[in-house]
Structure 1
Amino acid sequence: MVTKPKAIFLDMDGTILNHNNKVSGLTKQIIDELRDNGLYVFIATGRAADEISDLVPDGFQVDGIISSNGMAGYVKDKAIFEHSLPFELVEKVIEKAREHKVYYELFPYGADRIALQQDRIFMEDEVKDPKPESVGLNEWLSRQEAIKEAIDWKSQIEGNKFSKFYFFARTKENINQWKDELEKIKQDIDFTTSISSAHNVEVMVANVNKATGIKKMLHYFDLSDVETLAVGDSNNDLPMFQFVDYAVAMKNASDQIKEIVDDVTEFTCDDDGVYHYLKSLIVPSSIKST
Structure 2
Amino acid sequence: MITITRKLIALDLDGTTLNNDSKISSQTAATIRAAVKQGYLVSIVTGRPNRLSENFYDDLHLNTPMINFNGNLGILPHQAWNREYQYTIDKEIVAELLAKSKSLGLSLIAVEGRDMFLANHGVKNNAGFGFFPSTLETDQVLSQQSLRDNPISITVQVEPELKAGLIDFLQNQFGDQVEVSPWGGPHSIVEIATKGVHKSTGLKFLADYYGILQKDIIAFGDEGNDVTMMQYAGTGVAMKNAIDKIKEFANDVTDFSNDDDGVARYLQDRMDIAVGE
Same fold (TM over 0.5): yes
Give 1:235's match in structure 2, choosing from 219, 224, 234: 224
Give 1:209's match in structure 2, choosing from 193, 198, 201: 198
Is this contact kept in 2: 1:191–1:205, CA < 8 A?
yes
What is the root-mean-square deviation in Å for CA atoms of aligned residues? 2.7
Please, which runs of 5 or more residues in structure 1 have no aligned partner? 132-139
Shift, 1:211, TM fit: 0.5
1:80 corresponding residue in structure 2 = 84
Shift, 1:107, TM fit: 0.4
Please report the TM-score for the alignment, with normalisation by the length of structure 1. 0.80
Shift, 1:196, TM fit: 4.4
Aligned: 1:106 with 2:108: no
1:146 corresponding residue in structure 2 = 133
Q: Which amino acid aligns with 2:109?
A: Y
Aligned: 1:181 with 2:185: no
Determine helix, strand or coil for the equivalent of 2:52.
helix
Aligned positions of 1:31-180 closer than 5 A? 31-55=32-56, 58=59, 60-76=61-77, 77=79, 78=81, 80-102=84-106, 103-111=108-116, 113-116=117-120, 120=121, 124=123, 127-128=124-125, 141-143=129-131, 146-148=133-135, 152-156=140-144, 157-169=146-158, 171=160, 173-180=161-168
2:29 corresponding residue in structure 1 = 28
Shift, 1:170, TM fit: 7.0
Q: Which amino acid aligns with 2:37?
A: D
Is this contact kept in 1: 2:34–2:275, CA < 8 A?
no
Whole-Å separation in 2 of the counterparts to 1:197 and 1:168 = 13
Shift, 1:5, TM fit: 7.2
Shift, 1:289, TM fit: 7.5
Whole-Å separation in 2 of the counterparts to 1:170 and 1:258 = 31
Determine helix, strand or coil for the equivalent of 1:259.
helix
2:246 corresponding residue in structure 1 = 257
Please report the TM-score for the alignment, with normalisation by the length of structure 2. 0.83
CA 1:255–1:59 in structure 2 vs 1: closer, same or farther (change >3 Å)? closer
Whole-Å separation in 1 of the counterparts to 2:87 and 2:143 = 25
Is this contact kept in 2: 1:22–1:56, CA < 8 A?
no
Whole-Å separation in 1 of the counterparts to 2:270 and 2:32 = 14
Whole-Å separation in 1 of the counterparts to 2:33 and 2:136 = 32
* CA displacement 1:151-205 (0-9 Å, x = unmatched): 922344423141111233574x443333222212224x52123344144332111
Q: Which amino acid aligns with 1:204?
A: A
Q: Which amino acid aligns with 1:8?
A: I
Alignment coverage as a number of residue pairs: 265
1:137 corresponding residue in structure 2 = none
Please, which runs of 5 or more residues in structure 2 have no aligned partner? none
CA 1:174–1:282 in structure 2 vs 1: closer, same or farther (change >3 Å)? farther
Identity rate, percent: 26
Aligned: 1:200 with 2:204: no
